[in-house]
Each structure stands twice: as C-alpha cells, then as structure tokens.
Structure 1
Amino acid sequence: MTLVLFRSFFETDPLTLARALIGVRLLVDGVGGIITETECYTPDDPASHSYRGPTKRNAAMFGPRGHAYVYRVMGLHWCFNVVCGTRAGEGSAVLIRALEPTHGLDQMAARRGTDNLRRLCAGPGCLTQALGLSGAHDGLPLDAPPFRFEARETEPEIIAGPRIGITKAVERPWRFGLAGSHFLSRPFR
C-alpha cells in the first residue's frame, strides 16, 4: 500500500527535508517519478531567494509550509521548490533538481521533445518542463491535486556535495542525491 505524504511531512528544516525527499515519488497529474536530487535553501543563506526578505517573486517561500514555490530562472526555465521549515513563514525551501521518470513517460517525452529517459528530468528546468509545471503552480498546496508525494519504500543511500549554478555560499554541501543513480542533473564529485 502506497503511503501518501501530507503537509506535515514538509514541516521540518530544509537540510532534513532535502535528504528525506530522496527516493520519494513525485507525481503531477499522474506524471513523474522518483526524486533523485535536491538542494536546500535557508533564510540565512545568501544564495537563497528569501535572504533579503519577501518580494512578489518569492512570496510563496514565506507562505505556508507544504506549498510549491515555482519561479523562472534567467527568464527561460521554471524551477520547482518545496516550501518547508520549522515554523511558518521562515523562507526555507528545497529545490527539486532531478527525478527518475516512472509515470507518464510519453507525456514527458512529448513535452521535452526527447525520448532519452535519462535526460527527461535531469535538471530543474528539464524536470518542470517534463512535469508540465509553470508559474501557475506557484503557491499551490503539495498535498492536493495536481500534486502527489508518495513515501519512499526503502531507506536510500544519499550522497552530498556543493550546490550547482549559484555564486554565493557555494562551499555548502547542500546538494543531495541518490547514490548510484543514472538520473541526476550532474554527477557528484
């Protein structure tokens, strides 16, 4: 029997949640797969969108935990984050960087314009395109349609390393991945 994760699952600190999400199944309207890579961001992290306080763009980060924070990076790609934290409104989130596709492969391939399974959801922009996520999903609750998070069935081996694509606090090993996975945005060092 599949255990569906509810909002209380996200009510923890981002370092804990970033690890806890590895191996969880994420589905958006029935399309998705197993989360293989995450990054976490805290309010005191200079690389975080919440570092300088609330804005129109990052408002969802300061909203209820267990909601989506979806934003466009460099005007090109959408990025999907899970709002979390030990208290509401603190501005913590976990970026979902990659997943292993398992459901809705034809839909993902059509959205991405490729049938290369390893590249369908390898990177935040690829993942959101494959899952059909956009700014319309920003602020939506993660324990209601179109989202579905299913608990992992086994305890995975998790690896850690520096985050990707940032210029501040790059030394923090706050990128997490499923050890041995072929479905990462980039290999870990």
Structure 2
Amino acid sequence: MPVLSTPSDPADRLLGARIVLLARELDDEVAAETCARLLLLAAEDPRRDVTLYLLSPGGSPVAAMAVHDTIRTLGVDVVTVAAGSIAGPVPFLVAAGTPGKRYALPHAALLPSAWDAAGQVRGAHPGDVRVRADHLAHRRAEIDALTERYCGAALPDEARSRWLNAAEAVTFGLADHIRGSDS
C-alpha cells in the first residue's frame, strides 16, 4: 500500500518505492522532514530496506546528527547513496548507512568538512577556495569528456560561446531529434 494516497510532489511519490531524497541544504527543518520520512517507512514495513539519496551542498552538523541518530536507530537497513556533489556533514550521513549498503554514484563527489574547535565548518581560507575551484575544474573536464563521448566529437568553440537553439543542438550532436516538431 502506498504511503500517500495522492502524492503531490516527486519526493512524496518516491516514498512508495521506499526512497527518501535529501536534496537541499541540511537545516533543522530538512532534518525533521527527512527523519519523519525515514521513520514512516521503517514503521510501514520493518523488514524492508529504506534508501536515502543524498544530494546536498552541506548544512548544519546539529541537523546531520538528528538524521544520523534516526538512521542508526530505525531497526531497518538504510541504503545510502551519494549523488552529485555533497559537502559538509552530508558525506558523514553516507557513512552512517548500513555497512555493505553505502554507495556513491559514478560522478558523486564528497567533501567532508574540516571542523574547528567550536564545531563550525572552517571558513573560506585560500585553501578552501582552491579546493572548490579545483573541484569545479575537474567537474568541467569530466563533463567535456562525457559530452564528447555522447556527441561523437568535441564541441567546437562556436557551440560553447552562446546559447544553442534546439536545431543547433541536433546539429552539434547534443540531441538526436526535436520533440514535437513536424520535421
């Protein structure tokens, strides 16, 4: 039986598949919502795994501990999946999943934060800026390589210097067809 009879948004619809999506900055409100969804699924069927997808730029260590404690006390296995770039205390939540059921998608990037003595994420010193810039440059290189693979050739500079319309996207191999066109 689905968790919600008339799911209104994709995150609610995922509950029927026992998937919880944490895809915003982790604050107390997001932690409460995430914990509630996890608790609901564990109560609904205490024998089936729950999957927690994590796609969050980071957030509050206090909120992360609430989610952590919920994961660790549910009584069901929690599959954790890192998707995209996650930072701060969010990589810690991937590690909090059930051993053997903790995953990172192929292009996931995890940046566990360094904490100071007061429990705050260390600020933007030059090393932090460099780490983030290097990460973005690496991501861009990955995207360029994959685009070349999917398109069959590198995109010319002309295609990278302006917005392309749908027909140009087909010409450059970014798309195969224009949906809904008569051509």
> What TM-score range do you get, normalising by the shorter chain?
under 0.3
Could you state the TM-score of these two structures normalised by the residue count of structure 1?
Answer: 0.25
Structure with a larger share of its residues in helix: 2
Structure with a larger share of its residues in strand: 1
Could you state the TM-score of these two structures normalised by the residue count of structure 2?
Answer: 0.26
Query: Considering only CA atoms, is the larger Rg found in Structure 1 or Structure 2?
Result: 2
